[in-house]
Amino acid sequence: MNKKLLREIRSIKNSKKKNLSKTKTHQMKLLFHSPGHAKNTHAIQQMCKSRGIELIFTHDDNMAYQGNYDILIANSRFLDPNRIPSHIFIIFGPQHFVFPSGPLVGKYDLEYSKRCVFNSLSKWVEKMWLSMTDFKIPIVQFPFTVDLEKFTPNLSKQITIDCVFYVKQRQNNLISTAENIIQKHSLSYQKFVYGSYQENNYLQTLKSCKFMITLDRHESQGFALEEAMACNIPLLVIDATTMYDESNGNNSVYSYLQPRDLSATSVPYWSDDCGIRITEVSELDSALTEMEKRYLEFQPRKYIEATLSPEVCMDRILNHPYCPQTHI
């Protein structure tokens, strides 16, 4: 082999090494176009930190259109993909709408769909939306992480009450019936009503109870319930099987949409390791008897760690085929 050819081969090898070094040292950047739910913005910080990704928050559309980043989360508003550089992975949602509307609704768009997705958070939401209309882009499920550092099990095992009763936007008569059954079992409990409690009080009470009973509306993610599970508190879920279960006290919030199918759930992230799930208040009596006997058997935190940890949630995004493959 002549010296000139040998030098060329060495030059190519050195060039490849330099390029590989650049790839390995490139820090991926994620731009979060807010505003966003406080839980979501806190979660994305933990998710990015877990994988060494630089996170940038902005309200400025122009920053999104400049393109000096790798992933865009357009959390609550449409941004024109035609003005965003082609290398960027665009995630719309989840806070654009309850029911589909706007520029992303319509016939499948072959250009948008090459690098844009819409985050529905959970599968039941995707199914409901697609029963209503077509989407121009694929729908995915990228749930946000639960704060596993803040919501931790009570290792001291100092139990002061039997259970927490968590209520969110269900009919008054169902709430009263559930409370009567809890009282019939002579259980000590503290009631938390969505929108009228302090999170620190909720956390401390979780750490001092055996299990939690939930009478919740539909949830696309359900942070409050997932946070209880992160504390390793088993749930006895009186599930919402439809969005019609959401109530202003006496009437269904979405009754105007009947008879459309609005099938839903309170616990989109759930397994039998997390507790007991029922669908009717009439089942609560027997379910409570079972929970009182079995609450120590359940290990909901293990499920949360395996499904909603910062690393797992971030990897769902990084492993998507549209995500730039520059993060090592």
Q: Is the domain of 110 the same as that of 231? A: no
Q: Is the domain of 257 the same as that of 314? A: no
The pLDDT score that the predictor gives to residue 326 is 56
Has residue 3 been placed in a domain?
no
Average pLDDT value for residue range 159-185: 97
Give how far the C-alpha of residue 82 lies from the chain's centroid of Cα atoms, to the nearest Å. 28
Q: Is the domain of 297 the same as that of 189? A: yes
Residue 90 has pLDDT above 90, yes or no: yes
Contact indicator for 27, 69 with CB cutoff of 8 Å: no
Residue 220 has pLDDT above 60, yes or no: yes
- With tokens 């009470």, the residue in question is 205
Tokens of 36: 């966003």
Q: Is the domain of 132 the same as that of 74? A: yes
Average pLDDT value for residue range 128-138: 96
How many domains is the chain partitioned into structurally?
A: 2
Q: Is the domain of 172 the same as that of 303? A: yes
Which CATH number fits the domain that encloses residue 262? Answer: 3.40.50.2000
Can you state the percent helix, strand and coil of the chain, rounding each to 5?
A: 40, 15, 45
Q: How far apart are CA 240 and CA 278, in angstroms?
A: 9
Which CATH number fits the domain that encloses residue 69? Answer: 3.40.50
> What percentage of the chain carries pLDDT values higher than 90?
86
Q: Is the domain of 295 the same as that of 314? A: no
Average pLDDT value for residue range 40-50: 97
Contact indicator for 249, 171 with CB cutoff of 8 Å: yes
Contact indicator for 182, 163 with CB cutoff of 8 Å: yes
Average pLDDT value for residue range 190-199: 96
pLDDT band at 34 (very low <50, low <70, confident <90, very high): confident
Starting at the edge strand found earlier in the chain, the sheet holding 211-215 runs 189-193, 163-167, 211-215, 235-238, 275-278
What secondary structure letter does DSSP report for 141?
A: -
Over the stretch 100-115, which tens digit does the pLDDT of each residue have? Answer: 999 999 999 998 999 9
Residue 157 has pLDDT above 80, yes or no: no
Q: Is the domain of 243 the same as that of 118? A: no
Question: Which structural domain range is residue 19 located in?
Answer: 13-142+310-318
The pTM is what? 0.88
Looking from the CA of 315 toward its CB, the CA atoms found within 13 Å total 9
Q: Is the domain of 250 the same as that of 202? A: yes
> What percentage of the chain carries pLDDT values higher than 70?
91
Contact indicator for 212, 223 with CB cutoff of 8 Å: no
Q: Is the domain of 137 the same as that of 170? A: no
The pLDDT score that the predictor gives to residue 35 is 84
Has residue 88 been placed in a domain?
yes
Bridge partner residues of 237 (DSSP): 214, 277
